[in-house]
Structures are given as structure tokens and as C-alpha cells.
Amino acid sequence: MNERFFRQGLLAVALAALLSVAAGSGYAGNLVIWIAIAAVLASTLRFVLLIGELNFAVAAFFGLGAYASGAATTLWQLPFGLSILTSGVVALLASAAFGYVTLRVKGPYFLLIGFAFTEALRILYTRSEWLGGNSGMVGIFPPAVLGDYFPTFVVAVAGALILLLARIEHSHLGRVFVAIRDNDSVVRSVGIPVHAMKVLCFCIASLVAGVAGALQAFSNNVISPLDFSFMLSTFALAYLKVGGERHALGPVVGAVLLVLLASVAQRFGGSEQIFYGAAIVFGVLFMPDGLTGWLARRRTARAKTALPSPAGEMQ
């Protein structure tokens, strides 16, 4: 089942990348890019949820990645690939330090300290003149070679990242993470260093979020401190909650659905904020397991009702 899942996953990513070629680089292309980035962000949120923590600092590491790429490209003139790598490494190092200190606390404390960290980083950006201060950085362009195929590139990278997270989740390491969520004392009792494992999980998710931030910087060309407020974490939460957190596909489904619906709502003059808020409230109250959870339950319900009927035909 595992093998099949990844073969199908790879196929789906390839298909999505091919489809995104049709979107071109206009408005549709930007929409495709944002869907891909949103799916990655929501997936990292889900990944940290494996150890049972809600990572509200996701916007902070996304922002760190974006700023690292911005600095690498415009200040140090590093090549494109190296810039994206820098983003990942910066997010990884920062999250290792942040996670080492904060993962000692759990639940609401961890959540709130992530929230505070996001806002503290934003203040730091506005204070840093070399990072453009309040107005941010401009001129972060992807290489000309990619041209109109930049959305395709983003979709391919995003798909690979999501598959990577799913791969880790299904590995031995992923089982350790889930075991920590279920009962960390048991995990500690068999000699697994719980704290180190939690930090590792957090670092992997933040690395991915950092790379997503780099993609965002290159696609937007402009970044400013305002782009990385805690609202971004809330949006990621909306994608995850509407899609469902039980299945690895949940964040992707949520991102595709909400981004498309929000763009339609905006065309009719609605507010993006109200729309996302309503989606979260509706999701929590009426679909606690999200769309994927709802579909899975319907499928098992149908399988149950379908079972007796072949027996009936036999008679």
C-alpha cells in the first residue's frame, strides 16, 4: 500500500506540474503558485501535529525563508538554487534553536510562544535597515531560464516537499512521532530521547516551511514584514482544518478548495478574511475531520451497506 501511495503521489505531482503549464504566468499562474505554497504550509502544520503540537510559528519560519532568499539574491548575488538552499538552512538553524528551548513546554504554552516569536521576528525585520526595514525587499526575481514555467517549477518543488513529509510520516521515525503524541512516557521508557525527537520533527517542518518561503519570495518578487504576520499561520490552519488532518492529502485538498473559492469570492467583492474565518468556523463545528475525513467516513459507510447485498444475490 505504501509503495502504491508514493507511486500515485509522484504521478499526481507530475500531472499537476503538467497542468500548471497550461495556467501560464498570468493571474492563473499566480493562483497555482499560491495553491502550491499554501498546500506546503498546511502540510508542515500537519507534520508538527504528529507530535501533538500546534505550530503557530509556521509563519515565522516561512518569513525567515523568504527573507533569507531575498538577502541571498539581492545582497549577496547568490545563484537561484543556492538561495533556496540558504532559505532552508536558515529556517533549519533558527528552528533548531527555537525548538530546543520551547519544545520543553507543551500545548497552549508552545502555541503562544510561537505566536509571540512570529510577531517578534516581524519587529526585527522592520528594525533591520539592511533588510529594507518597513518597506521590505524588492527585486527578488527567479532566473530568466524558467520564464513562463516558474509556476510549474513551484508545483514540482511543492509536490516533492509534500511527498517527502508523507514519506517521513510513513517511516519508522514517523511512528515515533505519533507515539510521542499518544504517550510520551511510553516512548521515553523504551529509551528514545523524546525531546530530541520533537525538535527533529519541528526542524523538518520548519526546513520545508523555509523553502516554501523562498518560493513565495521569488514568485512575488517583493517581500515586506507585513506579509508574515500570525494571520498567515491562521490561513494555513484554515487549509488544514477544511481539508482534514487525518490524511496527508487533507492540506492539499483544503488549499486547492479554499484558494479557488476565495478568489471567486473576491471577484464578487467579498472579503478574503471573512471567507477564511467562516470556512474555519464551519469546518470545526460541522466537519471536525475535514473534507477528507468526511469522505472517508462516507466510503466506509457505503462499504458497510454494500456488504450484505452480494450475500443477498447469492441466495
Partner 1 sequence: MQTLLQLFFTALQIGAVYILFALGLTLIFGVLRIVNFAHGQFFTLSALIVSVAVPWFANGGSPVWLAYTLACLCGVIVTSALGALVYEVGFKRVERDMTGSFILSAGFVLMIEGVFTKLFGGIVRPVPPLVDGNIDVFGISVAAQRLVLCGVAAALTLLLTLALGGTRFGKALRAVSIDHQAAMLQGISYRRIGFGGFVAATAIGAVAGALIAPVAAVSPTLGDAYLVKGFIAVVIGGMGSVPGAILGGLFIAFVESFVGFYFDPSVASLAIFVLVMAVLLVRPKGLLGHE
277 binds partner 1 (CB under 8 A): yes
Residue 124 interacts with partner 1 (CB under 8 A): yes or no: yes
Per rule CB under 8 A, is residue 264 in the interface with partner 1? no
Burial of residue 32 (number of CB atoms within 10 Å: 0-12, 13-18, 19+): buried
What would the grid cell of residue 37 be?
505554497
Q: In whole angstroms, how close is the CB of 32 to partner 1 at the nearest point? A: 24
User: 83-112 mask for partner 1 (x: CB under 8 A)?
Assistant: ------------------xx-xx-xxx-xx
Q: Quick check: 212 and 40 in contact, CB under 8 A?
A: yes
Report the chain's C-alpha Rg in angstroms: 20
Task: Indicate whether 127 belongs to the interface with partner 1 (CB under 8 A).
Answer: yes
CB atoms within 10 A of CB 182: 10
Nearer to partner 1, 61 or 117 (CB): 117
Residue 186 beta carbon to partner 1: minimum distance, rounded to whole angstroms = 20
238 binds partner 1, rule: CB under 8 A: yes
Residue 274 sits in the site that holds partner 1 (CB under 8 A): yes
Which residue bears the cell 493562483? 31
Closer residue to partner 1 (CB): 10 or 123: 123
Half-sphere exposure of 45 (CA within 13 A, CB side): 35
* Residue 188 and residue 257 in contact, taking contact as beta carbons nearer than 8 Å: no
Helices of type H across 194-229: 194-220
Contact predicate 151/4, CB 8 Å: no
Closest CB to partner 1 among residues 79, 288: 288
87-165-52 Cα angle (round to 5)? 100
Q: Which of 117, 153, 177, 202 binds partner 1 (CB under 8 A)?
A: 117
Q: How far is the CB of 172 from partner 1 (least distance, A)?
A: 26
What character string, x for contact with partner 1 (CB under 8 A) and - otherwise, covers 4-23?
Answer: --------------------
Cell 484558494, residue located:
259
Q: Is the dihedral of CA 120, 121, 122, 123 positive or negative?
A: positive
Select from 124-132, 152-160, 181-189, 298-306 the region that touches partner 1 (CB under 8 A).
124-132
Among residues 33, 52, 44, which one has the least CA distance to residue 237? 44
Residues from 191 through 220 that contact partner 1 (CB under 8 A):
none
Report whether 120 contacts 128 (CB < 8 A): no
Sign of the dihedral defined by the CA atoms of residues 95, 130, 230, 34, in that order: negative
Q: Find the part of the chain contacting partner 1 (CB under 8 A) among 135-143, 150-158, 279-287, 291-299.
A: 279-287
281 sits near partner 1 (criterion: CB under 8 A)? yes
x/- map, 47-86, partner 1, by CB under 8 A: -------x--------------------------------
Binding residue for partner 1 (CB under 8 A) from 120, 186, 264, 301? 120
Which one among 39, 279, 290, 291 touches partner 1, defined by CB under 8 A? Answer: 279
Smallest distance, partner 1 to C-beta of residue 50, A: 13
| CB-side neighbour CA atoms (13 Å) of 28 | 9
Question: Residue written as cell 527578488?
Answer: 140
Among 26, 143, 193, 288, binds partner 1 (CB under 8 A): 288
Q: Which three cell numbers stand for residue 32?
A: 497555482
The residues of the shown chain that bind partner 1, judged by CB under 8 A, are 54, 101-102, 104-105, 107-109, 111-113, 115-117, 119-120, 123-124, 126-127, 231, 234, 237-238, 241, 271-281, 283-285, 288
